[in-house]
Amino acid sequence: MNIGLESDLRRQIADLETKISEYEGLLYHHEPGWNSLKQSDASYQVIFENTGTGAFVKEADMTISKVNSEFERLTGYSKADIEGEMKWTDFFLEEDHDRLAGYHADRRTATRDAPRNLECRIKDSSGAIRHVYLTLDLIPGTRKSIGTLMDITKLKQAEAQILESKAFLAAIVESFDGLIYVVSRDLKIQYLNEALLEKVGRNAVGKPCYEVLHHRAAVCPFCVHEQVFNGEAVRFEIKNPENDRWYYSVNSPIHHVDRSISLLAMVTDIQARKTAELSLKKNESQLRRQNRLLRSTMTERSKFGGLVGKSQPMQEVYEQILNAAATDATVVIYGEPGTGKELVARAIHDMSLRNREQFVPVHCGAIPENLIESEFFGYKKGAFSGAGADKQGYVDFAHKGTLFMDEIGEISPHMQVKLLRVIEGGGYTPVGGNRVKHSDIRIIAATNRDMLERMEKQMMRKDFFYRIHILPIYMPPLRSRKEDLPLLIDHFLMLYGGKKNLPPITDRSMDRLLEYDWPGNVRELQNVMIRYCHSQKIELMETLKSPFETPVADDIPSAGDSGTLRSMMDAYEKKLIEAVLRRNQWHRSHAARLLGIDRKTLFTKMKRHGLARPQSRSSHSS
């Protein structure tokens, strides 16, 4: 080997060993730095994992390279599914992709700044959408980004609810038919609704309410701010001296988050209502004066409305009529058929404050059970076959007036429930309808039944009975007030005799009238007087031919007559019913009682046989 070459080689090896020693020294001196770097990396990992938000690292190609556990929980995907496999746009809604891709490019160029914080929405593995607050920025010295996602779904839901509540309250406030304002503790205006803004003519926020609204230099003497700021709600009515109108003011405290209190005032114009109230009080005063006048002359009266009689029992009835007319309570009139129960009801109506409205009489016993609901409450078009148009019922017709329900004891318990609801203000629904209607009615009932007995037989509901039995009036039968017979006879002779020159009733005939017990009461007396005006004869029921006497041979179908036994029995039944009806002036209650059947059975048989009362001048009863 060449000695020079060998010497040069040795020198290079020595230099290399020297550099190796130097590198070993450098490595020895930098070992604490390497350890510190390793510790810093461990701290970074702890912070990344425990930020409380969904943290992630995004590469320049938008691939997610690292996520923490919270990011897994938010998205529903595992780290194995995400890291190196999914792009960050895979988590956001499609409508946000272009916007987020643009921000990604902007962060890597100097042409335009991208926002560091923004709100957006992500879709998790189940398809559920969450609102998130995204924070994102580049890692210095790299093209990577680090970001966090904070779940703000509940916050956004709360915001939506608050906005909905505000819109709801704003709609209520603006639709309120009145004036609304809010003032602070020093009575400075904080809010005026549109109606009050228009009335004031300017935005007066910050100005004293007494100055702007009432044109005063100091606090109004009627102001209730002290009570309201002490936590009370105060309501009052006041007449404004400026325009001489009545207003109703509701004043309530508003408690703010900072514990301050404002006064909310809602003011409504009630001039129409006050005018009606004053008119009502005036009418009530007039009614009281009329009642006092009537009472003062009661003992001298032989007539009261359509009623005739001067006896003590009738004077007591007149007194009860006056008491009932002064109230709006439910009245029930008890009495035998023909005593004048409807005339009592009319007198109560005519003397009450409802006298300008309808008096609607209803004969409850004459309405078939399958029609009674539609008759009382009406029906809607198409409710049943034949219902070609809407029809109002008795309750509608009697609105603001009086509904007189004769023979109320005939109503079924099922219908009693519905009527009870009307009486108690719950309203009613027409047949075939779905909207509850209300009617302002006063109910006067009448019956010749023993209501307590019907309750025992469960034909009358107790709650219905006690609701109508508020002001009972008992009509005396004619046999207990025979001293009124001369007055009644004169009344009917004048009513039906007209200009006829009728012979006077003899003493003997008068004695017969006074001795008779009048089972049909005043109505029977009325019929006797009508016959007298036409025949000049006094014919009482006891002198008339009894419908139950054995028929003469000509009245009985003979064996040779054609027809079946059934047809002959039907013919005889028709003849018998017609005879009883004629002899009782077609009074069906009397006829049914004499025949020993109830009214509904009689009505059914009359309909089957085609029996109807002949057209004649309508009768008058007292």
Strand partners, 181: 192, 265
Q: Is the pLDDT of residue 539 over 90?
A: no
Nearest to 493 by CA among 518, 530, 524: 530
Q: Report the mean per-residue pLDDT for the chain.
A: 82
Q: Is the pLDDT of residue 54 over 70?
A: yes
pLDDT band for position 494 (50/70/90)?
Answer: confident
Higher pLDDT, 228 or 141: 228
CATH code, domain with 609: 1.10.10.60
Long-range contacts of 118-126 (CB under 8 A, 24+ apart): 119/152, 120/92, 120/93, 120/96, 121/92, 121/93, 121/96, 122/74, 122/75, 122/91, 122/92, 122/93, 122/149, 123/91, 123/92, 123/93, 124/74, 124/75, 124/76, 124/77, 125/75, 125/76, 125/77, 126/76
Max Cα distance, the chain (Å): 188
Is the domain of 454 the same as that of 505?
A: no
pLDDT recorded at residue 37: 46
The values of phi and psi at residue 600, to 5°, are -65, -40
Return d(Cα 205, Cα 184) in angstroms, integer: 11
Is residue 171 included in any domain, yes or no? no
Cα 330 to the chain's mean position, in Å?
A: 23
Structural domain that includes position 344: 301-476
Is residue 162 included in any domain, yes or no? no
Q: Is the pLDDT of residue 559 over 50?
A: no
CATH code, domain with 453: 3.40.50.300
Helical H segments across 460-617, by residue range: 462-468, 485-497, 507-515, 521-535, 565-583, 588-595, 599-609
Q: Is the pLDDT of residue 542 over 80?
A: no
Q: What is the pLDDT of residues 245-257, one digit of tens each?
A: 899 999 999 998 8
Is residue 279 included in any domain, yes or no? no
Is the domain of 68 the same as that of 186?
A: no
Is the domain of 192 the same as that of 96?
A: no
Return d(Cα 214, Cα 149) in angstroms, integer: 56
Instruction: Say how many Å lie between the first and final Cα of the chain, rounded.
Output: 164
pLDDT band for position 6 (50/70/90)?
Answer: low
Q: Are 191 and 205 in contact (CB under 8 A)?
A: yes
Q: Which two tokens stand for residue 145?
A: 């980004």
Return d(Cα 551, Cα 554) in angstroms, integer: 8
Is the domain of 375 the same as that of 515?
A: no
The pairing of beta strand 359-363 with beta strand 402-406: parallel
- Total of domains in the chain: 5
Is the domain of 436 the same as that of 352?
A: yes
**Over residues 12-18, mean pLDDT:** 61
Q: What is the pLDDT of residues 358-396, one digit of tens each?
A: 999 999 988 888 889 999 999 988 888 888 898 999 999
Cα radius of gyration (the chain): 49
Non-local CB neighbours of 331 within 8 Å, separated by 6+ positions: 324, 345, 348, 443, 444, 445, 470, 471, 472, 473
Provide the total of helices (H) and of strands (E) in the chain, helices listed first. 22, 17
Is the domain of 331 the same as that of 388?
A: yes
**Over residues 37-64, mean pLDDT:** 76
Q: Are 142 and 153 in contact (CB under 8 A)?
A: no
Q: What is the pLDDT of residues 307-351, one digit of tens each?
A: 999 999 999 999 999 999 988 899 999 999 999 999 999 999 998
Is the domain of 528 the same as that of 560?
A: no
The values of phi and psi at residue 302, to 5°, are -110, -10
Is the domain of 528 the same as that of 414?
A: no
Position of tokens 């390497």?
A: 34
Q: Is the pLDDT of residue 607 over 80?
A: yes
Return d(Cα 395, Cα 165) in angstroms, integer: 41
Q: Is the pLDDT of residue 28 over 60?
A: no
Q: What is the pLDDT of residues 408-423, one digit of tens each?
A: 989 999 999 999 999 8
State the pTM of this model.
Answer: 0.48
pLDDT recorded at residue 280: 75
Q: Is the pLDDT of residue 563 over 90?
A: no
Is residue 460 included in any domain, yes or no? yes
Q: Are 57 and 64 in contact (CB under 8 A)?
A: yes
**Over residues 148-158, mean pLDDT:** 88
Q: Is the pLDDT of residue 285 over 50?
A: yes
pLDDT recorded at residue 620: 41
Residues 534-570: b if buried by 16+ CB within 10 A, e if exposed: eeeebebbeeeeebeeeeeeeeeeeeeeeeeeeebee
CATH code, domain with 239: 3.30.450.20
Q: Is the pLDDT of residue 98 over 70?
A: yes
Q: Are 337 and 589 in contact (CB under 8 A)?
A: yes
Q: What is the pLDDT of residues 288-315, one digit of tens each?
A: 666 655 555 555 567 888 899 999 999 9
Return d(Cα 565, Cα 506) in angstroms, integer: 50
Cα angle 88-92-95, degrees, rounded to a multiple of 5: 125
**Over residues 227-238, mean pLDDT:** 91
Q: Are 238 and 230 in contact (CB under 8 A)?
A: no
Kindly tell me the sign of the dihedral angle through the C-alpha atoms of 232, 233, 239, 240.
Answer: positive
For the chain, the residue count is 622
Type of residue numbered 157: Q
Residue 331's Cβ-side half-sphere holds a number of Cα atoms within 13 Å equal to 30
Domain boundary among 488, 523, 544: 544
Helix (H) / strand (E) element for 255: namely strand 245-255
Strand partners, 67: 56
Is residue 164 included in any domain, yes or no? no
Is the domain of 540 the same as that of 550?
A: no
Return d(Cα 340, Cα 495) in angstroms, integer: 16
Is the domain of 500 the same as that of 584?
A: no
Higher pLDDT, 243 or 316: 316
Q: Are 580 and 544 in contact (CB under 8 A)?
A: no
Q: What percent of the chain stands above pLDDT 70?
A: 84
pLDDT recorded at residue 392: 92
Is the domain of 348 the same as that of 436?
A: yes
Domain boundary among 476, 511, 531: 476
Is residue 455 included in any domain, yes or no? yes
pLDDT recorded at residue 579: 86
Helix, coil or strand: residue 387 = coil
Nearest to 373 by CA among 395, 389, 353, 388: 395
Return d(Cα 305, Cα 44) in angstroms, integer: 104
Is residue 292 included in any domain, yes or no? no
Non-local CB neighbours of 397 within 8 Å, separated by 6+ positions: 358, 360
Strand partners, 145: 58, 138
Return d(Cα 377, Cα 397) in angstroms, integer: 10
Is residue 578 included in any domain, yes or no? yes
Is the domain of 490 the same as that of 398?
A: no
Q: Which range has the worst mean pLDDT, 258-272, 406-420, 584-598? A: 584-598
**Over residues 459-470, mean pLDDT:** 92
Nearest to 308 by CA among 538, 580, 449, 491: 491
Strand partners, 264: 182, 252
Type of residue numbered 85: E
pLDDT band for position 21 (50/70/90)?
Answer: low
